[in-house]
Structure 1
Amino acid sequence: MISNKKAIVGALVIALVSSLLTLNVGALFGKIAIVPMNEYKQYKEFEKMYSLKSSIEQEYYKNPSESALVEGAIKGMFEGLNDPYSTYMTKKEFDALLEYTKGSFGGIGVYVSAEDDGFITIVSPIEDTPGARAGLKAGDKILKVDGENVSSKDIDKAVSKMKGEPGSKVTITIAREGQQEPFDVHITREEIRIQTVKSEVKEDGIGYIRITTFDEKTAADFKTNLNALKSKGIKALVIDLRDNPGGLLDQCQEISDELLGKGTIVYTRDRSGSEEYLKSDEERKLGLPIAVLVNGGSASASEILSGAIKDNKAGILVGTKTYGKGLVQQVFPLEDGSGYKLTVSQYFTPSGAYINKKGIQPDIEEKDETKQLDRALEYLKSKIK
């Protein structure tokens, strides 16, 4: 049995511990509210930012825009991640991203990526666009847009500056491997309408489908083109993913459904180690020999489709090593029309390969781009029954 004296002492100890855990200053002075310790620590972490904001507003020689300060602080948080794929976007930048996924926009027609070296790099120019006709190449580094320096940390701003009204002009300053000095490329913007899927029948009844990116219409267009080829009695299929920078994962999944039958397309792993498997849930399978053309411009969703075909033994890869992007981003809209992209997980091919910064090696390596299709056709001819 506990005595009353011990009970009182115990109650005081419990009260003291409770006040320490919750910073119960208010109980002592009656002026400060009870604040949980974790919230207090969080407040202290942001106290410097609030103090600096106040100093800028009071001491800066011009009257600063509060909204600009807040936007800058938000962008700074994302820069602190040191992840070029995680970015905050203003309303204008976010609208441009949504416009891009719909497959039509005014611009020069290049796919770009934020690289660890701090530069914005052209992954690939889009076929038959101003950028492609101006001679921009995969691997080119974009140093300036209309004379303004740009870097990987503000890639969305750079993309926004390259877009614009059809007929308007923009100057891109490029650094290219093998050339000592940067040079300017003057380009007139056009309405970029991306036809992401094209097809034809090659020699010996081999079908050919070219996919340039994965936007909202790609899977439907792929099915239409594949059905047209099947109606012509094709005996094998080439899928060309060269210089395809990726896009929407759900479109990649729908295309995989047409090719793999039942099987794993890809699986992801988040920060807690939790894994989620994306499977091809259709029972149909193409049932024809497949060769996929890839190169260093084949990234993201292109690598997911390539890895799924390779690891499920549905076909082979021909060309050169792929880009190597093994991270998954999720897009989040905000109430004011702005939004952000955040890397939420890593992805792995069905065999468990983690390809980030490594890429996928082709089954048949061919560095000469002019010979890659011929090598694929040669392989498929040997497999036609």
Structure 2
Amino acid sequence: MINKRAAVFWAIVLVIVTAFSTFIVTNTIAISLGNKVVITQKDFETIKSMEKLLGLKDYIKKNYVEGAEDNQLIEGAIKGMFESLKDPYSVYMTKEEFKNFNESTKGSYGGIGVIVSRSEDGYVTVVAPIEDTPGEKAGLKTNDKIIKVNDQDIVGMDLDAAVALMKGKKGTKVILTVLRDNVREPRVFEIIREEIILKTVKSNMMENDIGYIRISMFDEDTGDEFKKALNSLKTKNMKGLIVDLRQNPGGFINQCVEVADELLDEGLVVYTEDKGKKREDYKSKKGKLDVPFVILIDEGSASASEIVSGAVKDRKAGLLIGVKTFGKGLVQSIEQLKDGSGIKLTTQKYYTPNGISINKVGIEPDIEVKALELKEGQKPEDVKDVQLERAVAELLKQIKR
């Protein structure tokens, strides 16, 4: 039920949509409500801002030499509100952009298979290439800064617009120009788009009865897929487990909690706090994995990957091997609006069981092992995986005890 003050406020806003002068606003309120209304200074300032915004919309529409449509101006104003937050994870998406966003978290789509974010200085930056996709095969790496898609400069461009340029029909070519740390000249990658099918969990049994589960990201089915893979390995007399979260950019918080629940005994996995310091706890249930395990992490392990890693480290349940993680300790709420558009807004920060916020900090491994650098023309499978080898060695020590 709307209270009187709220009803008055929205009545005023509705009037402003159709008439801009103070005289008309004041008199329409008197007619609509039948008496005088007192509002706060804050509400009055909000009303004046709305008047300014809508007045400018009309001015642009009447005078802009190229012409402009109402919808174009309103969409731009909404996008501007989100951009003013200077948070690369908070965005407004048009109907088409929101549809593309949903495709990238489930099912399949045509593209190159990289997860990107926009840095504070306006660069579209690779968080992680998705495993077995054209982007990974071409050699794109975490922290690569994409400055051009084909001939179009994308520095400072809206993130979703830049992503849309990278997507396209299967079999078509896209050219990316990339800045890479410690490389003087920009690098150019010619990539053929493929259908990106998101299978986020792969597993196999290695030598010495060590199970291996690779999670490339946490989508809607990852928790169930992880359980299936783990149960399959258990039937094969698994004596130790490696969970590979390298280059995993994150995903849904409920899915990473499901994965953590399979590894940890009863207790706290992660907690979140919103603007008002309201806390929400996510816990694992009683019963833990009964074999030693290692989590592999690197600079591309972000968000949901760091939730799992942070819980394992704080609760001393397993070993983290690799290098420091990405450092994204924020939670976004995703909402679809009535017209099919959508928003993604940072609404919470998350904390590890020990109360640590890892945002822009990352999680340090228990044992640091740097991956060998790929040389020009080499593919990941051509280079010895020293991080995986160290994980096996550490597990064998524990198995033999």
Q: Given the two structures, how large is their TM-score scaled by the length of structure 1?
A: 0.89
Partner of 2:332: 329
The 3-state SS of whatever aligns with 1:124 is strand
The 3-state SS of whatever aligns with 1:101 is coil
Q: CA deviation at 1:117?
A: 2.6
The 3-state SS of whatever aligns with 1:331 is strand
Partner of 1:360: 363
Contact 2:330/2:346 (<8 A) preserved: yes
Contact 1:79/1:153 (<8 A) preserved: no
The worse-fitting range, judged by mean Cα deviation, of 142-151 and 52-61 is 142-151
Q: CA deviation at 1:120?
A: 1.1
Partner of 1:45: 49
CA distance in 1, matches of 2:144, 2:27: 64
Q: CA deviation at 1:235?
A: 0.9
Q: CA deviation at 1:283?
A: 2.1
CA distance in 2, matches of 1:306, 1:103: 26
CA distance in 1, matches of 2:338, 2:354: 40
Partner of 2:387: 372
Structure 1 residue 85 and structure 2 residue 89: aligned? yes
Q: Given the two structures, how large is their TM-score scaled by the length of structure 2?
A: 0.85
The worse-fitting range, judged by mean Cα deviation, of 335-344 and 360-369 is 360-369
Structural mapping, 1:1-385, within 5 Å: 32-33=29-30, 34=37, 36-37=39-40, 38-151=42-155, 154-280=158-284, 282-369=285-372, 370-384=385-399, 385=401
CA distance in 2, matches of 1:215, 1:30: 54
Letter in 2 for 1:303: E
Q: CA deviation at 1:153?
A: 5.6
Residues 240 and 36 of structure 1: is their aligned pair in 2 closer, same or farther, counting only changes over 3 Å?
same
Letter in 2 for 1:221: E
Fraction of identical pairs, as percent: 52
Letter in 1 for 2:313: K
Letter in 2 for 1:305: V
Off by >6 Å, runs of 4+ in structure 1: none
Count matched residues: 359
Contact 1:223/1:255 (<8 A) preserved: yes
Q: CA deviation at 1:32?
A: 4.8
The 3-state SS of whatever aligns with 2:339 is coil
- Cα deviation code 1:289-311 (max 9, x no counterpart): 11100000000000001111111
Structure 1 residue runs without a partner (length 5+): 1-22
CA distance in 2, matches of 1:30, 1:131: 61
Q: Higher Cα Rg: structure 1 or 2? A: 1
CA distance in 2, matches of 1:62, 1:191: 38
Q: CA deviation at 1:31?
A: 6.3
Residues 173 and 245 of structure 1: is their aligned pair in 2 closer, same or farther, counting only changes over 3 Å?
same
Letter in 2 for 1:91: K
- Cα deviation code 1:114-147 (max 9, x no counterpart): 2223211112222222112222222210112222
Contact 2:106/2:198 (<8 A) preserved: no
Residues 55 and 249 of structure 1: is their aligned pair in 2 closer, same or farther, counting only changes over 3 Å?
same
Contact 1:84/1:153 (<8 A) preserved: no
Contact 1:103/1:215 (<8 A) preserved: no
Q: CA deviation at 1:162?
A: 1.0
Structure 2 residue runs without a partner (length 5+): 1-11, 13-21, 31-36, 373-384
